[in-house]
Chain A
Amino acid sequence: MPEIVVEGVKKTLGGLLTLGDINIKAKDGAFAGILGPSGCGKSTLFNIISGLMQPDAGHVFIDGRDVTGRTGRVSYMRQKDLLLPSLNVLDNVSIPLVLKGWPKKKARAEAEKHLGRFGLAGFQGYYPGQLSGGMRQRAAMLRTYLFSSDILLLDEPFASLDAITKRQMHAWLIDVFYQIRPTVMFITHDVDEALYLCDKVYVLSECPTVVNLEIDVPFCRPQHGRTIVDPEYSAIRDAIMEALAI
């Protein structure tokens, strides 16, 4: 079961206690948002979950197994697309499969199957330099998906996009989410983005980071894609704003 549990994780970076005591959970098929001021160690948290960094204390469980400090289970998508300019779209997205030891041809064929869903059909031969920002982010997400299809860690994936493209990407992401039903952890510092996409939101404090607020979002991912008019919306939004001390 693709479930992520972060238990009592602490981390000191450069003499500064960055992560105080973090307990976060994303259940199977959940879309958990992590909101926090910039520089609060959100990316450090993802580095720990993906196994790139060893926490000073605490554990990370994925599928019920302790994967603390071990890479290989999940990768994560960053704000920068980090596509290799030297490879075309198809070769870029099939990298995780190639690294897993698949033969190149088979990896390409497998990656090609998913291009349509990620809005990249017909663009397999294009180089990243020829694509729009939104397409590059979708390619980066497909690459993340091909590494671990049941868990997606997204670190401010749309932060560098303009407002309109961002909105289009939200609608698209919801669509894909319902198709593949992964467990998602989504870092953002945009309150409305979190309320729009996530069914659960964790609000982090400033350094040393702890979870200030944990809140369920009942009205997330509306079908219409327009402004949310649910009466609970403003109450939840205000609670989050308060937790962020805005």
Chain B
Amino acid sequence: MTRGDGSFVSSCVKQDDTKEPSPCVLVVLLMKDKINNIANVVVPLAFVSFLLVIWEYTVRWRSIPDWILPGPLQIARTFAENAPMLTKHAQTTLTECLAGFAIAIAFSFVIAFLMDELPLVKKAIYPLVIASQTIPIVSVAPLFIIWFGYGILPKIIVVVLVCFFPIAISLLGGLAAVDKDYLELFRSMQATRLNIFRMVKLPLALPSFFSGLKISAAYSVMGAVIGEWLGAKQGLGGLGAYMTLAQRSFQVDRVFAAILAVTVCSAALFALVCLIEKITIPWNRLS
């Protein structure tokens, strides 16, 4: 039987051959692609630069004092001058972030697994999971400081609180969205519950899990900074502590430099999660 697979594949290939554009057209298409790529980078950069120029110009033209609003050039200068100090503080902040992030992920996995496997647990815990998100962090963070002191622990707890909800909800949503036919198929092949979870549910829920993880990654730095604002030990209290200190002494340029550092940290964490996603679920980009 030749009408089976072989001819099917070769006919696909043949079609591609006939549709291939001439070299001239190809060059134009490639150039168009390249121009598009360049435009994707240049347009946003140009717009941001435009805004920065307006900012700088306004500050100089209205001669606004530094302690109210410094210009971007001044902020850049402060950022460069304080870079070593900011890096050290950023290390503290990032340590808190990563620790909190890791705990939130582990916790989400346990909770999501239990809730997915045991409907009773889901009924009992779901309202609590939602409630964890409605708690105003700024109001409970001081309590953590009272309970756990000025060390690193209360900051980690804040990060966990901030990150837990998006991760847990996206993981749960991913697990619940798995096509029932998959489960039936695997049950008909006598797969155990653990096998079904490991082989079917978890991999199929991973894309959803990673979208929650990206949100959390961006939030986690903010969580740590809020924790640090409210109080830190002397010395390296993180970017939040640095920020409050600068604010109290009206060094607004330093506040902005710290904000810039926070942004860089958040973006870096986000990029890290994207990278891990690409490595863990390469198949997700195929379909």
A171 x B3 contact (CB < 8 A): yes
A52 x B187 contact (CB < 8 A): yes
Contacts of B186 on A, CB cut-off 8 Å? 99
B199 x A95 contact (CB < 8 A): yes
B8 x A82 contact (CB < 8 A): no
B12: contacting residue among A80, A84, A99, A132, CB under 8 A: A132
Q: Does A218 sit within 8 A of B, measured CB to CB?
A: no
Q: In the complex, what's the smallest C-beta–C-beta distance from B56 to chain A, in angstroms?
A: 49
Q: Does B81 sit within 8 A of A, measured CB to CB?
A: no
Docked CA distance A75–B184 (Å): 10
A172 x B189 contact (CB < 8 A): no
Contacts of A130 on B, CB cut-off 8 Å? 286
- Known: A85-B283, A96-B189, A132-B12. Contact between A119 and B4, CB under 8 A? yes
Docked CA distance A96–B188 (Å): 10
Q: Does B1 sit within 8 A of A, measured CB to CB?
A: yes
Interface residues of B, count at CB 8 A? 30
Residues in A156-180 with C-beta less than 8 Å from chain B: 165, 168, 171-172, 174-175
B204 x A84 contact (CB < 8 A): yes
Q: Does A55 sit within 8 A of B, measured CB to CB?
A: no
Contacts of A174 on B, CB cut-off 8 Å? 1
- Known: A138-B5, A171-B4, A172-B1. Contact between A86 and B283, CB under 8 A? yes
Q: Does B281 sit within 8 A of A, measured CB to CB?
A: yes
- Known: A95-B189, A127-B286. Contact between A78 and B5, CB under 8 A? no
Q: In the complex, what's the smallest C-beta–C-beta distance from A179 to chain B, in angstroms?
A: 10
A172 x B4 contact (CB < 8 A): yes
Contacts of B187 on A, CB cut-off 8 Å? 52, 71
Contacts of B191 on A, CB cut-off 8 Å? 99
A225: contacting residue among B3, B5, B6, B281, CB under 8 A: B3
A99: contacting residue among B1, B195, B281, CB under 8 A: B195
- Known: A80-B179, A86-B204, A127-B286. Contact between A75 and B5, CB under 8 A? no
B189: contacting residue among A99, A120, A128, CB under 8 A: A99
Contacts of A47 on B, CB cut-off 8 Å? 184
Contacts of A119 on B, CB cut-off 8 Å? 4-6, 8
A72: contacting residue among B12, B190, B200, CB under 8 A: B190
Contacts of B184 on A, CB cut-off 8 Å? 47, 52
Contacts of A183 on B, CB cut-off 8 Å? none
Docked CA distance A237–B6 (Å): 32
- Known: A95-B199, A99-B190, A127-B286. Contact between A78 and B185, CB under 8 A? yes
Q: In the complex, what's the smallest C-beta–C-beta distance from A233 to chain B, in angstroms?
A: 21
Max chain B Cβ within 10 angstroms of own Cβ: one of A82, A138, A165: A82
Q: Mark B84-114, 1 if CB is under 8 A from A, else 0.
A: 0000000000000000000000000000000
Q: Does B206 sit within 8 A of A, measured CB to CB?
A: yes
Q: In the complex, what's the smallest C-beta–C-beta distance from B155 to chain A, in angstroms?
A: 36
Residues in B154-195 with C-beta less than 8 Å from chain A: 179, 181-182, 184-191, 195
Contacts of A225 on B, CB cut-off 8 Å? 3
Docked CA distance A175–B191 (Å): 31
A52 x B3 contact (CB < 8 A): no
A86 x B188 contact (CB < 8 A): no
B188 x A71 contact (CB < 8 A): yes
Residues in B1-46 with C-beta less than 8 Å from chain A: 1, 3-8, 12
Max chain A Cβ within 10 angstroms of own Cβ: one of B182, B184, B191: B184
- Known: A84-B199, A95-B199, A134-B8. Contact between A172 and B3, CB under 8 A? yes
Closest to B285 in A: A129
Contacts of A84 on B, CB cut-off 8 Å? 182, 199-200, 203-204
The list of the 8 closest CB pairs from A to B, nearest first, reads A119-B5, A129-B286, A129-B287, A86-B203, A172-B4, A175-B1, A75-B188, A127-B283
Q: Which B positions have Cβ atoms within 8 angstroms of A?
A: 1, 3-8, 12, 179, 181-182, 184-191, 195, 199-200, 203-204, 206, 281, 283-284, 286-287
Q: Which A positions have Cβ atoms within 8 angstroms of B?
A: 47, 50-52, 71-72, 74-76, 78, 80, 82, 84-87, 95-96, 99-100, 119-120, 127-130, 132, 134-135, 138, 147, 165, 168, 171-172, 174-175, 225
